[in-house]
Amino acid sequence: MIRTRPLRERKALAFAFDEAAEGEFEGYASVFGLTDQGRDVVAPGAFRRSLRARGVGGVKLLFQHDAREPIGVWRDIREDERGLYVRGRILPELQRGRDVLALMRAGALDGLSIGYQLVRSRMDRKAGTRVLLDVDLWEISVVTFPLLPAARITRVKRNRFNRTDAALAAALRNFSDDLRKGP
């Protein structure tokens, strides 16, 4: 009679805990073809040159256009058929970031506004507006009252983990690490 020892099996389950959604939001910082309260209209393509030159990292995310109040980072800035689409992340590690995020989630703060230097424009005398053809985009701010009422935050992501979930996630990570180490 042949006795065999059962082979010892080790199975590990990989866990991915993506908490990057905390503080993320999206919206439109500018909408093409609409007249703002300053009688300016942004034309499609007005941001193209600037975005190519600066990239997403070269445009600052500020609170109320205050250069002393950076509150996060931009993840994506691009022109689409509607306007200047943005996706950013407010940093909840900052006190101002936590305050802004709470106000955004409550719907009390939902405006976006662009800070730029004008490169090229033309006057539309019939409409009484200035058409912005090329702007050097420096910053985009979360604001209370946007000059263009349609420039709004459209979605704020919530952290999928509450404190209990975070504790469970930590325990599962430790368990997974233990499984990988073996007996």
pLDDT single digits (tens) 65-114: 999 999 999 999 999 999 999 999 999 999 999 999 999 999 999 999 99
Could you tell me the two tokens for 31? 């909408």
Q: Confirm whether pTM is higher than 0.95.
A: no
22 in active site: no
Q: Give me the catalytic one of 65, 69, 79, 176.
A: 65
With vertex at residue 79, the alpha carbon angle to CA 78 and CA 85, rounded to the nearest 5 degrees, is 65
Could you tell me the two tokens for 86? 């943005």
139 in active site: yes
41, amino acid identity: V
Phi, psi angle pair for 24, to nearest 5°:
-80, 145
Which of 12-26, 37-51, 87-101, 110-124 shows the lowest per-residue confidence on average (mean pLDDT)?
A: 12-26
**Domains identified in the chain and CATH numbers:** 24-181 (3.20.16)
Looking at residues 162-173, what average pLDDT do you find?
A: 57
Q: What distance in Å separates the CA atoms of residue 89 and residue 164, rounded to the nearest whole number?
A: 23
